[in-house]
Amino acid sequence: MRFPEHVDVAIVGSGPCGAAYARVLSERAPTASIATFEVGPLLADPPGVHVKNIASAQERARAQRLSEGPAPRDGAASTDTMDGYADDAPRLARPGTFLLPSGYRQPGEDGLPGAAMSSNVGGMGAHWTGACPRPGGSERIAFVPDLDDLLAEAERLLCVDAHAFDDAPFAAEVRKRLGAAIDAGRGGDRRVQPMPLAVRKDAGGRVTWSGADVVFGEPTRGNPNFSLHSQALVTRVLVDGDRVRGVQIRDMRDGTVHDVRARYVVVAGDSLRTPQLLWASGIRPRALGRYLNDQPQTVFAVRLRDIAPDPAAETDPRDKAEIVPQSGVSWVPFTDDEPFHGQVMQLDASPVPLADADEPLPGTIVGLGWFCAKDLQESDRIEFDDREGDAYGMPAMRIHYRLTERDHAAIEASRNAVRRAAEALGEPLDDAPLTFDPGASLHYQGTVRMGERDDGTSVCSPASQVWDVTGLHVAGNGVIPTATACNPTLTSVALAVAGARAIAADLTAERN
């Protein structure tokens, strides 16, 4: 039989947050039966591996195409995530992702033209850039008292390392110059520093990206009570009164429909499809799909000035699958006085194309990406259409999204801030910073947001349980209730840890 008839916990989605639930439950409730269901295919072994860890360009391209949902690009499409990143195309489509085909903008609104998703085992964790900064100031969730403990556990699960590239050429010089321009008046943990990254460095110095495979880890893969089911679309969460009772699944291989009974269900999709599934299931709290927010993103590029060649540097790392010693990623943390988050990336990690006129010294071309926190509005939302289905047959999405006057002011301030940072480093390679259309960050949040109490402005509790539906939890970036500028994955995994611990405690109490 392809699917189990009954499990203790059914997890919908195999990205970092779904994997975190499986991992924590495997460690804390090892006798519980757990099944994870993923609409997309398995890309490689181990399940959930990051595609950049696939050495073969041909196999890497195959994995990216498999991730691109119902209408993947043709086999000749680029595998380089930087291709087209800073050109003037109307919508940015990255390898391994697929754009929301319609409904992304309503008349007279800004919309989210960059809204994109991935369908594969490992979710977006198979394609992300691995940045895991901790939130600060108003980014933090004040009603989660053990947030720092949860963030530390998320760092363990993701194998976060802030020092993997301490020896990258010119990285220390980049941080020295940035610090001189930015650090005045900042607290110690908010000063320019190496970016914490979800990467692993082996004894030989090779660095690989953490995907959901790292979060699953051996405790999950070796758990005889855990199973992972790919190409399994969960079309409905089954509820009996105020208690969850399982999920309904469509087998994407043959179209058959199956019910799996479960005592607990965790919906750990992205910020678009998690509320979509709840809506399709008739679970529709007022805040569902609302408070949708993205992080307005501005990029710029410079060539470091006054830099001598490093005789120990290796060759240009472009087109290589793995991260190499030329890579350097620095972090300008968010503060409430300067409400931006800055990623400063060298060469292969840079968010902008390299200069073509001549071959730069490895490490001397630096891309700067500044992200803003969105002005949160209940009216920024996903509307679901029960009369029309998407390519998976789920309710079609209509995005309602507007940038406010405060947002436009923040974007302009971030453009000035990124220019000042660039001038501290070297000579700009462009005339002006480029601000992407909404959605390009892929950091959508808020659509199943957490709240301290059930007052109509949130979907779930601090343990990520959906209000009024016992046993139903949600996970992913959509749970984050605050306006953030930093990369959200570390925070969303931390919140998943809290939810998984709550389920594990309940299971343990029931069996004692």
Q: Which CATH class is domain 1-97+119-159+210-284+449-512?
A: alpha beta
- Tell me what pLDDT residue 227 has: 98
- Tell me what pLDDT residue 48 has: 98
Whether 439 shows a pLDDT value over 50: the answer reads yes
Contact 502, 465 (CB under 8 A): yes
- Tell me what pLDDT residue 85 has: 54
Active site residue 443: yes
Q: Name the DSSP letter for residue 470.
A: B
Residue 468: pLDDT band with limits 50, 70, 90? very high
Q: What are the Cα distances from residue 381, in Å, to 227, 294, 347, 395, 400? A: 34, 11, 36, 15, 5
Sequential DSSP letters for 367-392: EEEEEE-----TTSEEEEEEEEE-TT
- Tell me what pLDDT residue 358 has: 54
Cα angle at 229 between 2 and 61, to 5 degrees? 125
Task: Please report how the helices 16-28 and 147-158 are oriented relative to each other, as an axis angle in degrees rounded to 10.
Answer: 100
Q: What are the Cα distances from residue 251, in Å, to 47, 88, 236, 255, 257? A: 19, 39, 13, 5, 6
- Tell me what pLDDT residue 413 has: 97
- Other CB atoms within 10 Å distance of the CB of residue 67: 26
Sequential DSSP letters for 98-119: EE--S-S--TTS---TT-EE--
Q: Name the DSSP letter for residue 419.
A: H
Q: What mean pLDDT is reported for the chain?
A: 91
Nearest CA to 151 among 165, 137, 141? 141
Contact 199, 208 (CB under 8 A): yes
Residue 78: pLDDT band with limits 50, 70, 90? low
- Tell me what pLDDT residue 203 has: 81
Whether 465 shows a pLDDT value over 90: the answer reads yes
CATH, range 161-209+296-372+403-437: 3.30.410
Reduced DSSP (H G I as helix, E B as strand, rest coil) percent helix, strand, coil of the chain, to 5: 25, 25, 50
Whether 502 shows a pLDDT value over 90: the answer reads yes
Whether 334 shows a pLDDT value over 80: the answer reads yes
Query: Mean pLDDT over residues 332-346, rounded?
Result: 94
- Tell me what pLDDT residue 365 has: 86
- Tell me what pLDDT residue 346 has: 81
- Tell me what pLDDT residue 294 has: 96
Q: What are phi and psi of 415, to 5 degrees?
A: -65, -40
Residue 317: pLDDT band with limits 50, 70, 90? very low
* Residues 8-64: tens digit of each pLDDT: 999 999 999 999 999 999 999 999 999 999 999 999 999 999 999 998 999 999 999
Whether 350 shows a pLDDT value over 60: the answer reads no
Helices (H), 288-430: 405-425
Contact 301, 365 (CB under 8 A): yes
* Residues 257-281: tens digit of each pLDDT: 999 999 999 999 999 999 999 999 9
Query: Mean pLDDT over residues 386-398, rounded?
Result: 97
- Tell me what pLDDT residue 355 has: 46
Whether 212 shows a pLDDT value over 70: the answer reads yes
Residue 492: pLDDT band with limits 50, 70, 90? very high
Residue 168: pLDDT band with limits 50, 70, 90? confident
CA 384 to chain centre: 23
User: Any bridge partners for residue 261, and if so which?
Assistant: 6, 246
Percent of the chain surpassing pLDDT 90:
81
Cα separation, 419 vs 435, whole angstroms: 12
Query: Mean pLDDT over residues 295-304, rounded?
Result: 94
First to last CA, the chain: 31
- Tell me what pLDDT residue 496 has: 98
* Residues 405-427: tens digit of each pLDDT: 999 999 999 999 999 999 999 99
- Tell me what pLDDT residue 361 has: 65
- Tell me what pLDDT residue 324 has: 53
Whether 315 shows a pLDDT value over 90: the answer reads no
- Tell me what pLDDT residue 308 has: 73
Contact 244, 351 (CB under 8 A): no
Percent of the chain surpassing pLDDT 70:
90
- Tell me what pLDDT residue 490 has: 98
Whether 348 shows a pLDDT value over 50: the answer reads no
Q: Domain coordinates of the chain in residue numbers?
A: 1-97+119-159+210-284+449-512, 161-209+296-372+403-437
Among 78-87, 250-259, 365-374, 386-395, where is mean pLDDT lowest?
78-87
Which listed residue (50, 229, 400, 443) is catalytic?
Answer: 443
- Tell me what pLDDT residue 169 has: 80
Query: Mean pLDDT over residues 223-248, rounded?
Result: 98
Q: Using CB atoms within 10 Å of the CB of residue 468, give its burial: 0 to 12 exposed, 13 to 18 middle, 19+ buried.
A: exposed
* Residues 116-130: tens digit of each pLDDT: 999 999 999 999 999
Nearest CA to 93 among 102, 81, 103? 81
